[in-house]
């Protein structure tokens, strides 16, 4: 019995399309560039990515929306469909991982193991470096002024003397004191323009104020600082 010469190619194509469709339904086929997250496995802090919406994070971690918003220090008015990458003016994704790890009680070894498993670092080819003269010891001496960091490594990087931080680079993790010192705006001017109570601590983070004060946004701080810097 003769076999149609088109039968095998068509059958192979249909089988391939069926496999892809089944994989999409099962969640194992990704075409959006997002890392594949196994829905059958519990989500850990190291699995958190910027594309994940708040409601997805809440569901996968088993944390209520109210608790998640409180832990991340974001306004309750934030839509639950908002991806984490759109909240980086308040809290960065790396900080979200750290906060969730602490909330879940994950140990440092567990976090390191998950991070190594999920985020393999590609090997880069490094061009030979041009030899530089050895630096003198005085260039490595600590400054005599009082530091503004909290020792966690999450604060803003200190700027060279004489430089100020542009208003557009203000982040929600910064404190009022850090905004004043980094952006060159007097603390009393910042308090006055933002209509803050004098009892508000200068060490209060901006993202905390967004939770404590209705209508307060980090963008307001940027606007106030930008106006002052442009005067």
Residues 201-220 pLDDT 10s: 999 999 889 888 888 888 89
SS (H, E, C) the chain: CCCCCCHHHHHHHHHHHHHHHHHHHHCCCCCCCCCCCCCCCCCCHHHCCCCCEHHHHHHHHCCCHHHHHHHHCCCCCCCCCCEHHHHCCCCCHHHHHHHHHHHHCCCHHHHHHHHHHHCCCCCCCCCCCCCCCCCCHHHHCCCCCCCCCCCCCCCCCCCCCCCCCCHHHCCCCCEHHHHHHHHCCCHHHHHHHHCCCCCCCCCCEHHHHHHHCCCCCHHHHHHHHHHHHHC
Q: What crossing angle do the helices spanning 187-194 and 218-230 adopt, rounded to 10°?
A: 120
List pLDDT tens digits, range 136-170.
444 444 444 444 444 444 455 566 666 889 988 89
Find the mean pLDDT for residues 38-42: 75
Rg over CA atoms, the chain: 25
Angle at 94 between CA 92 and CA 176, to 5 degrees: 45
pLDDT greater than 70 at residue 108: no
201 Cα distance to chain centroid? 25
Give the pLDDT score at 21.
Answer: 65
User: How far is Cα 207 from Cα 218, in angstroms, rounded to an integer?
Assistant: 7
Is the pTM here over 0.75, yes or no?
Answer: no
Other CB atoms within 10 A of residue 191 CB: 16
List pLDDT tens digits, range 184-204.
999 999 999 999 999 999 999
pLDDT greater than 70 at residue 55: yes
Domain limits, the chain: 38-118, 167-230
Which is higher by pLDDT, 26 or 178? 178
User: How far is Cα 87 from Cα 217, in angstroms, rounded to an integer?
Assistant: 12
List pLDDT tens digits, range 75-96.
888 899 999 988 888 888 888 9
pLDDT greater than 90 at residue 24: no
pLDDT greater than 60 at residue 54: yes
Give the pLDDT score at 222.
Answer: 92
- Band (pLDDT 50/70/90 cuts) for residue 46 is confident
- Band (pLDDT 50/70/90 cuts) for residue 223 is very high
**Cβ pair 47, 37 in contact under 8 A:** yes
């Amino acid at each position: 019995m003769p076999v149609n010469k088109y039968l095998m190619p068509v059958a192979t194509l249909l089988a391939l399309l069926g496999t892809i469709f089944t994989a999409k339904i099962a969640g194992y086929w990704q075409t959006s560039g997002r890392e594949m997250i196994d829905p059958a496995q519990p989500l850990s802090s190291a699995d958190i990515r910027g594309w994940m919406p708040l409601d997805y994070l809440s569901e996968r971690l088993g944390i209520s929306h109210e608790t998640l918003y409180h832990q991340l220090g974001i306004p309750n008015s934030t839509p639950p469909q908002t991806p984490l990458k759109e909240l980086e003016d308040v809290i960065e994704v790396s900080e979200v991982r750290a906060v969730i790890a602490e909330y879940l009680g994950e140990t440092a070894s567990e976090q390191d193991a998950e991070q190594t498993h999920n985020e393999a670092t590609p090997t880069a080819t490094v061009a030979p470096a041009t030899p530089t003269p050895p630096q003198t010891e005085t260039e490595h001496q600590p400054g005599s002024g009082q530091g503004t960091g909290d020792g966690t490594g999450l604060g803003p990087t200190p700027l060279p003397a004489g430089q100020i931080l542009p208003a557009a680079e203000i982040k929600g993790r910064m404190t009022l004191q850090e905004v004043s010192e980094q952006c060159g705006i007097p603390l009393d001017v910042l308090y006055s323009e933002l209509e803050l109570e004098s009892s508000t601590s200068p060490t209060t983070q901006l993202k905390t104020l967004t939770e404590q004060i209705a209508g307060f946004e980090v963008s307001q701080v940027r606007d106030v600082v930008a106006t002052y810097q442009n005067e």
